[in-house]
Amino acid sequence: MTQKVSPVKKLTGNLTPPPDKSISHRSALFAAISEEESLIHNYSDAADPASTLKCLAQLGVQIEKNGSTVRISGAGRNGLQKPDQPLDCGNSGTTMRLLGGILAGAGVDCTMIGDESLSSRTMKRIIDPLTRMGCSITGRDGSYAPLNVRPNNGVQGIRFPLPIASAQLKSAVLLTGLFGEKPTEVIESTLSRDHTERLLELQSEPYGTGKLIRSSLDDTIPAQNYSVPGDFSAAAFWLVAGSIQPETNVHLSQVGINPSRIAAYQVLLEMGANIQKENETTAGKEPVADLTIKPSALSPIELDPALVPNCIDELPILMVAMCFAEGTSVISGAEELRHKETDRLSAMAEILTLSGASTEIKKDGIIIHGQPDFIPRPSLYPSYHDHRMAMAAAVLATRSNGVSKIKDADCTDISYPEFWDHLLNLSH
Ligand code: S3P
């Protein structure tokens, strides 16, 4: 589907962003290996979390879905059954890496596959530590899906300083660690999203500038009875869309504000955005709040590379904000963007160049020369079949002076199926 995006004069209204994708995946995965029954409210109906449910059903997990409520009868750590067919993770790196950690630990004989994009993303980062832990997990050319998992002769606890600030890698190793008699210790020096630690109630302690997290067979896996908060990564598109419009009043309800996820909010505040946070409360083990966005002039920023893991999924939309800031903004230390659903550094550089923005791409980031009165050229934007590229291009196009088009725009189904409706509802 090619989606038209018309220039927006005014962005106003209230909306609730879709349920958090990372927490939806985890709630289902952890419920599946709990000994108890879990009831998860507000489970995402996006394609990636649906891939997780489908794989779990193939593994014999009893799942009842009623609207956005999911009831899962936990099979326990050792109750997952050998599937008849390969487990299709679709486009979802979180499914492949986190479920891969569980299956390798449990030693379930199976094959995991993914779509073209997922099959080109490296899985070596999980294969190496899981192999060290005594698991049998192999990939095509040693690195890529299909992944083959075979029974193991017991999981060894390891001490693993994370070589990359990746929550998927951290989670995969900790999940495999749940199958070892001796503890697995993951050390992270740059803190990434901590949903796994929170939802599994894993022990963790400060370690240097970061923390050390432990998992082992001794950890009881709690039932997952809670309501999934709104996805901050989805909300971020409206934080920026609102901040770059001259007339804005957008109210977002029940947005997840886990500190390990909201660096983009802090960056936008530092750039001068006018975003109010109110009604702070919790959804399960996660903090949530309402956010209201009003217009404001933006200043450029040199993004602190230490913040990159906490805004990795929001960097593309932050690049759009930077185009409207008065002066030069710089993102560095973000080479991981090249390993996402597409090479998001190159993709964004191409999208911004098409719009007429002045950018310089670097190996690990981008330099953007912004101006408050920037008018993006009406364009036919590629989405690279990447949900976040499609949504970033759409937000950029709202400030154009003519109609733009986004190619293969239905890829937003991966994380935010209602995105185009929400854009239409807020646009005036
Ligand atoms: C995720 C972690 C991040 C993020 C992805 C979701 C997660 O990936 O980009 O969208 O749910 O753990 P990395 O761990 O590869 O940085």
Of 89, 117, 168, 310, the residue with max ligand 1 atoms within 8 A of its CB, to mutate for a pocket test, comes to 168
> In the 8-state DSSP scheme, what is residue 96?
I
Domain boundaries defined on the chain: 3-19+229-426, 21-217
- Of the candidates 358, 422, 347, 419, the one whose C-alpha atom is nearest the C-alpha of residue 389 is 347
Look up the pTM and report it: 0.98
Cα–ligand 1 centroid distance for 352 (angstroms): 24
Of 25, 94, 97, the residue with max ligand 1 atoms within 8 A of its CB, to mutate for a pocket test, comes to 94
Cα–ligand 1 centroid distance for 335 (angstroms): 14
Q: By alpha-carbon position, which residue is closest to atom 10 of ligand 1?
A: 313
Q: Which residues carry out catalysis?
A: 313
What class does CATH assign to 21-217?
alpha beta
- Common-topology check for domains 3-19+229-426 and 21-217: yes
Backbone dihedral angles phi then psi of residue 64, each to the nearest 5 degrees: -120, 120
CATH code that applies to domain 3-19+229-426: 3.65.10.10
Ligand 1 contact via 388 beta carbon (within 6 Å):
no
Query: Can you tell me the distance from the alpha carbon of 338 to that of 346, in angstroms, rounded to the nearest whole number?
Result: 8
- Which residue reads 């039932």 in tokens? 223
One-letter amino acid of 265: Y
> What atom of ligand 1 comes closest to residue 26's alpha carbon?
11
> What atom of ligand 1 comes closest to residue 339's alpha carbon?
15
- C-alpha torsion sign, points 386, 391, 394, 396: negative
Q: Tokens in use for 289?
A: 């709040």
Query: Can you tell me the distance from the alpha carbon of 285 to that of 196, in angstroms, rounded to the nearest whole number?
Result: 11
Ligand 1 contact via 91 beta carbon (within 6 Å):
no
Ligand 1 contact via 298 beta carbon (within 6 Å):
no
Q: Tokens in use for 226?
A: 């809670």
Start-to-end CA span in the chain (Å)? 23
- Encode pLDDT of 201-239 as tens digits: 999 999 999 999 999 999 999 999 999 999 999 999 999
Q: pLDDT digit of tens for each residue in the chain (428 aa)?
A: 999 999 999 999 999 999 999 999 999 999 999 999 999 999 999 999 999 999 999 999 999 999 999 999 999 999 999 999 999 999 999 999 999 999 999 999 999 999 999 999 999 999 999 999 999 999 999 999 999 999 999 999 999 999 999 999 999 999 999 999 999 999 999 999 999 999 999 999 999 999 999 999 999 999 999 999 999 999 999 999 999 999 999 999 999 999 999 999 999 999 999 999 999 999 999 999 999 999 999 999 999 999 999 999 999 999 999 999 999 999 999 999 999 999 999 999 999 999 999 999 999 999 999 999 999 999 999 999 999 999 999 999 999 999 999 999 999 999 999 999 999 999 99
Cα–ligand 1 centroid distance for 354 (angstroms): 28
Ligand 1 contact via 352 beta carbon (within 6 Å):
no
Q: Tokens in use for 163?
A: 């070589």
Ligand 1 contact via 313 beta carbon (within 6 Å):
yes
* Residue 122 pLDDT: 98
Query: Can you tell me the distance from the alpha carbon of 147 to that of 122, in angstroms, rounded to the nearest whole number?
Result: 11
